[in-house]
Amino acid sequence: MASSVLPFLAWTFLPDFLTNHAQSILYATFYRAGDPHPAPGTPLHTRHRQRIYLTILLLYFAYTLYEAHWELVRQPTLYDILGLPPNAPEKAVSSKYRRLSLQHHPDKLAPGETYDDASFVILTTARDVLLDPAKRFAYERFGPDILSWQHQRTVRDFVDFGLKHTVAPYYLGWSVILAICQWLGWGGAGAFWRWWTLAGLAAFEVACVTRQSYPQSWMLGAVSALPVVHKAVEDFAAQWSMILGLKPYLPFQTVSYLRRASLTFFVGLSRLGPLLSQMAAARRSRGLSPAGAMMPEGDEETKTLRILQRLEQLVQLQRQEAGRVLATNCVPFAPSTADSVVQIRDGGRGQGMEDLRRGLKDWAVKNALRSDAEVRRAYSRAVGRSNSGVVEELDGDEDCEAS
């Protein structure tokens, strides 16, 4: 029970956790040392996060589908126990049961082996179910649960009992749950698609339960009406199933897998719906349609808003570029290993930083002198008085020498 609930609980925290770490790793990998990363809250950072989050959601959805498939195939069916294909005739079932029962007979055991009564009981149960046409039909539609059903003799009895006690309660229960969640406002995104998915799954399960042929057969027949095309598609699917080590599902396995996939879709849609809405709104704000084409121009207010948004993006890019240039220009003044020793010895002040401060101070003073008109006039008068005083002193010395 816990193993089946855990994948759904992981939807609440795992995508956000993986997105944060994946974004940090990607920034550290693809951005050069010294280049500023997109700051949180900026349009570029938000766009990157949305794309990473969408990728993680799709990957986790694919993982849950594979996990559901793995849980199905690891549980053997009655056909797997006897080593027979699902379309095996009754004669093949009886013959295979006799061979396996002889292998597990107490007289056929090797010295030191103990008799396993449970294996013989399982073989007998598989034989009894597969040789009874009504039970075999019910097992393929409802699974191992029919082994505990009593007082059913015909196919109609099994179908009526299964629809009343397994199919109807499941879909009525989920309809009530979806209605309550929608009334409380939980998971509002994708409510329309949840109801359609539930209705489609219910129709598919009823068709599986009430039809004589397998779902694979009538689904392929619906897609390819021509018998030649149907046979080719069926052979192609069988060959690839053999290559990949896959086996076709029984009807109850198909229904179980689709139930699990629909639950995953219900939970994932609550995370995927708001994300797609945000991405579509972001594209519209940049003047793009959700498909990527340019949107037609609107009124003056829309145009002004679009221009302001583009201007904000340009300012952000200019600020990032200025920070990168400043960091690059300050590289020569960064303290080296020797400067680190000097910093420790001089109370944290390195020679490189002292030279930088002194040079910036001199530059600020000279720049102020050059830019202020009054300072330039005062400086010129002071220099003129100084020069005139020096000239007068030199004239006085010459007069003294002449006298």
pLDDT in tens, 315-346: 888 888 888 877 777 766 665 544 444 444 44
User: 95: part of which helix (H) or strand (E)?
Assistant: helix 90-103
Does the predicted model carry a pTM greater than 0.85?
A: no
For residue 222, pLDDT beyond 50: no
Q: What is the pLDDT of residue 362?
A: 78
Lowest mean pLDDT of 45-49, 166-170, 254-258, name the range: 45-49
Taking alpha carbons only, the member of 272, 191, 220, 227 closest to residue 11 is: 272
> Distance (Å, rounded) from C-alpha 393 to C-alpha 119?
128
Taking alpha carbons only, the member of 290, 268, 291, 253 closest to residue 197 is: 268
Lowest mean pLDDT of 151-165, 248-262, 284-298, name the range: 284-298
Q: What is the pLDDT of residue 138?
A: 92
> Distance (Å, rounded) from C-alpha 139 to C-alpha 252?
8
For residue 273, pLDDT beyond 80: no
Q: HSE of 182 in the Cβ direction (CA atoms, 13 Å)? A: 14
pLDDT in tens, 56-91: 888 888 888 888 888 888 888 999 888 888 888 899
> Distance (Å, rounded) from C-alpha 347 to C-alpha 359?
21
Give percent of the chain with pLDDT exceeding 90.
9
Q: What is the pLDDT of residue 341?
A: 43
Answer whether 258's CB lies under 8 Å from 202's CB: no
Taking alpha carbons only, the member of 142, 144, 180, 175 closest to residue 158 is: 142
Could you tell me which residues come within 8 angstroms of residue 73 by beta carbon, excluding any fewer than 6 positions away?
Answer: 246, 247
Average pLDDT over residues 17-45: 83
**Would you place residue 297 in the very low, low, confident or very high pLDDT band (cuts 50, 70, 90)?**
very low
pLDDT in tens, 105-119: 666 655 666 656 677
**Would you place residue 131 in the very low, low, confident or very high pLDDT band (cuts 50, 70, 90)?**
very high
Answer whether 77's CB lies under 8 Å from 251's CB: no
Q: pLDDT: is 242 or 14 the higher one?
A: 14
Q: What is the pLDDT of residue 342?
A: 46
> Distance (Å, rounded) from C-alpha 195 to C-alpha 266?
10
Q: Classify 348 in phi/psi space as left (phi over 0), alpha (psi -120 to 50) or beta.
A: left
> Distance (Å, rounded) from C-alpha 65 to C-alpha 264?
8
Q: What is the pLDDT of residue 188?
A: 63
Average pLDDT over residues 231-251: 61
Residue-wise over 195-207: b if at least 16 C-beta within 10 A, else e?
eebbeebbeebee
For residue 149, pLDDT beyond 80: yes
